[in-house]
Structure 1
């Protein structure tokens, strides 16, 4: 915080720092600030990691729903978290000083936001970066128990060893459908998850689509091979992997259940069905 305060003071920028006190507090702060200041030229900046970005996005989007077409504050990010996958996917600098320079420049682009309904979000909630179902969601839950940066990779190896049985699913994307015993399904607005895995090499947060990526259940040896492909973003060449782009998706488990996370937050470990879609040009992002 001292670095941030010093930078804003040197540039004569008006600012207020609000510290979160509990999970969900950033969403409440964002909605409250948007309500109190929506007639003024302000920006709401998430200083943190992907979880903080997710909460601020949900706060802004919830306020957007209430106010319909009223102007929203611009959304900015200072990446001081572990993974910073949202910032990576948006093509923004991961360096704090350069991120502060972006805020001062105040140049915005319109950002797509994802929406998901299912599990702990029966009425739906928003995500900025990506949703994972199956292997990825299990890895995410395991990684949360590990407090150092490489935790996601360690959790991925552990999950391969325990090798849970994948559910049989019907996967709908726009007007098409495939059936699969899907070990992993991801819906990406951005490019990367877990600070390392390139889930959607062609992911674009500004194109009005989400990127679907699914790998069916295979042997442990093949899963390890797939893991390395995901690290490089080369999984699209695999015969056991299917990729597509779309606006609307549904996953229905015919056998087994769905383990789901959205931007790193576990939404369910036993859901049977989930709906996902893209909301194009939902927020103004200070990108620089």
Structure 2
């Protein structure tokens, strides 16, 4: 158990129901005799600012910085912690914790953190941690680079994420995926470089996963492992709408590896160059660029200490 827990809570998480969890949190921590502080986010990017500030203030303490929200909150907290770590600080970072109270909670799913709030609270106060890999992506408007915890997508799934953000119901990602199949433009022609290899492709979807799932439903990397020092690569070629719907069903079931139009591999460093067209990028569900021509994606092994019982 840590001496103190800093909960960075996104009030908008879970379709605005995150604040309803405060009484549950208070009861649990009181029963366990645990001290904690709730830091409510006020705007996009605020969770990253809070995480970086708390890491600087508390790096010498036996405490945890906890993302209480969905995948967007996790992403911001990871970016705050990694930003502090990579500005020349040799001090150890506070442990990273997660309370999954968002909609999809894909990062928690992939990390093996309980999705039930009571169980995830019990997990949080355990003294067990793992060294968590973190991803990094740079391209287009994200010219300075950004960290990610769960996954990065180029093309189809990036457009789906942008469409799903407009939809309020839980299965909005599936609706957005079907809509995108109907409206999807011609896929860009790309050169994909990794591990001294190069693949030329006109892939509708290029996915780099640290975790397993996206959109609360699609198993983009069924065998994803957040501690192996590698990212899972999946690409699926553009095809007719009927065949793309079939591919979508396989990604939903996690059986895309057997498809002839799908290529999978593992790697630590990737580069994607669009020879024709441009790339839409998302990281952990957040659209980073819509006109990227050159994208770098790296895995940073064991970059953060994650609380996982």
Fold conserved between structures, TM > 0.5 = yes
1:108-187 equivalences in 2 (<5 Å): 108-187=129-208
Deviates more, 1:1-10 or 1:147-156: 1-10
Contact 1:113 1:281 in 2 (8 A): yes
Tell me the distance in 1 between the aligned counterparts of 2:41 and 2:303.
Answer: 24
What is residue 24 of structure 1 aligned with on the other side?
45
Unaligned 5+ segments in structure 1 are: none
Deviations along 1:180-205, one digit per CA (max 9) or x if unpaired, are 00100000000000000000011100
- How many residue pairs get matched? 288
Secondary structure class of the residue paired with 1:52: helix
Deviation at 1:70, TM superposition (A): 1.4
Tell me the distance in 2 between the aligned counterparts of 1:38 and 1:18.
Answer: 17
Secondary structure class of the residue paired with 2:43: coil
What is residue 242 of structure 1 aligned with on the other side?
263
Point out 4+ residue stretches in structure 1 off by more than 4 angstroms. Answer: none
Unaligned 5+ segments in structure 2 are: 1-21
Deviations along 1:170-228, one digit per CA (max 9) or x if unpaired, are 01112111010010000000000000000001110000000000001111110000000
Secondary structure class of the residue paired with 2:51: helix
Deviation at 1:5, TM superposition (A): 1.4
Counterpart check, 1:252 vs 2:302: no
Tell me the distance in 1 between the aligned counterparts of 2:65 and 2:278.
Answer: 37
Tell me the distance in 2 between the aligned counterparts of 1:139 and 1:16.
Answer: 36
TM-score (norm 1): 0.99
Tell me the distance in 2 between the aligned counterparts of 1:163 and 1:67.
Answer: 43
Contact 1:163 1:220 in 2 (8 A): no
Secondary structure class of the residue paired with 1:197: coil
Contact 2:141 2:292 in 1 (8 A): no
1:80 is aligned, of 75, 79, 101, to 101
1:216 is aligned, of 216, 234, 237, to 237
Deviations along 1:17-64, one digit per CA (max 9) or x if unpaired, are 000000000000000000001010000000000000000000000000
TM-score (norm 2): 0.92
The two structures, once aligned, show a CA RMSD in angstroms of 0.7
Secondary structure class of the residue paired with 2:124: helix
What is residue 35 of structure 1 aligned with on the other side?
56
